[in-house]
Amino acid sequence: MPDFIAQWLNQNEIFTAMTIMEYWDGLVTTVHLVFLSLVIGLVVAVPLAIMRTVRNPFISGPVWLYTYLFRGTPLLIQLYIIYYGLAQIEGIQETFWWEIFREPFYPALLAFTLNTAAYTTEIIRGAIVSTPHGEIEAAKAYGMNWFLRMRRIVLPSAARRAVQAYSNEVIFMLHASAIASVVTIVDLTGAARNIYSRFYAPFDAFLFVALLYMLLTFALVFAFRKLENHLLKHQRPIGS
């Protein structure tokens, strides 16, 4: 370690091994929460997006309502409704669900998952709707049934078109997850708030955590750019 860093670490009272461990635990919680909600959200969003494109209003209508409600209200309100609301459901405290939902992590996970699934549904729907007609006609001409067409033609081609918008959603979710700290979860932001209130040092506590979020964001941007390049390889001009 260079001398000046060692010296700085020795002189400061805030960034001790203990607070760095707190930040680390916060980082683990944030990554855990965001990763799980994104994965579950994506799994839920794919069938919902397909339902949303169906002509029958009894199938597409409820999905439209769901995405409209979750995209039209702040995530913070959704989190509050789920976090405070679940405990008020009559009889829940006697069931095994209470063992799960008494921890703030799970209500937050539920709120984040429902929110990201709503946005992702609309992203995938947009990509499905813009599938070139020719691709679907060709699939029909080959005698593929609806299911095969979805699986082999529509979804893979929609996935390529959805990646860019989805990468924005992932970063949005990472940033939105900071509000988990208001329901007593010690995520990255929660750790920073604890350290702020212990040392009354806003710049040290929050600038450091901002830097960590920035590193996470740029890592994600980089990974998605690689993925996009990979998925859109066939569209690159010859010779590049």
* Distance of closest approach, residue 215 Cβ to other proteins, in angstroms: 8
Which of 66, 80, 98, 199 is in the footprint of other proteins by CB under 8 A? 80
Q: 109 with 29: CB under 8 angstroms?
A: no
Contacts of 234 (CB under 8 A, 6+ apart): none
**Structure tokens, 50:** 């397909």
We find the least distance from the C-beta atom of residue 110 to other proteins, in angstroms, to be 14
Per CB under 8 A, does 223 bind other proteins? no
Residues 168-187 contacting other proteins, CB under 8 A: 171, 174-179, 181-182
We find the least distance from the C-beta atom of residue 140 to other proteins, in angstroms, to be: 24
Distance in Å, CB of 146 to other proteins, minimum: 27
Kindly identify the residues of this chain, within the stretch 40-69, that bind other proteins according to CB under 8 A.
69
Q: Is 19 in the site for other proteins (CB under 8 A)?
A: no
Least Cβ distance, residue 200 to other proteins (angstroms): 9
Please give the Cα distance from 49 to 169 (Å, whole number).
15
Length of the chain: 240
The only residue of 38, 45, 50, 75 in contact with other proteins, by rule CB under 8 A: 75
Q: In the complex with other proteins, which residue's Cβ is closer, 75 or 128? A: 75
Is position 213 an interface residue for other proteins (rule: CB under 8 A)? yes
Residue 117 CB contacts under 8 Å (≥ 6 apart), including other chains: 40, 41, 42, 44, 45, 48, 70
The residues of the shown chain that bind other proteins, judged by CB under 8 A, are: 69, 72-78, 80-81, 84-85, 88, 171, 174-179, 181-182, 189, 192-193, 196, 202-203, 206-207, 209-210, 213-214, 217-218
